[in-house]
Amino acid sequence: DTGVSQNPRHKITKRGQNVTFRCDPISEHNRLYWYRQTLGQGPEFLTYFQNEAQLEKSRLLSDRFSAERPKGSFSTLEIQRTEQGDSAMYLCASSFTLTYNEQFFGPGTRLTVL
């Protein structure tokens, strides 16, 4: 399978716990994006990497959220001290610089905070 993969697919946690999600982009893609989708809404942009550099962050990305892409390949999104409002689907997408307009999405990680 050469598409974008995300792990885990589902995560249930208690309020106050930390969680980490992983995204593996399509191998030749140097751009990687994180989006968040709440029930009944369209995805909202969180942050974007080109190679290992984090180039843009949304105001939605509070200081409890941190994203990394240390080697320019896979990325992790960590949420510290989770809150019930963090419950959502976290989507990862990737693209290639020369075809940046084509973003391909992974299946998402559904987070439920109890």
Partner 1 sequence: GEDVEQSLFLSVREGDSSVINCTYTDSSSTYLYWYKQEPGAGLQLLTYIFSNMDMKQDQRLTVLLNKKDKHLSLRIADTQTGDSAIYFCAEIFTGTASKLTFGTGTRLQVTL
Two structure tokens written together for 87? 């419950």
Residue 106: CB minimum distance to partner 1, A: 5
Residue 102: CB minimum distance to partner 1, A: 6
The answer to whether 101 and 53 have CB atoms below 8 angstroms apart is no
Residue with tokens 């969680």: 19
58 binds partner 1 (CB under 8 A): yes
- What is the 8-class DSSP label of residue 85? G
In the region spanning residues 69 to 108, those forming contacts with partner 1, defined by CB under 8 A, are 91, 93, 100-108
60 binds partner 1 (CB under 8 A): no
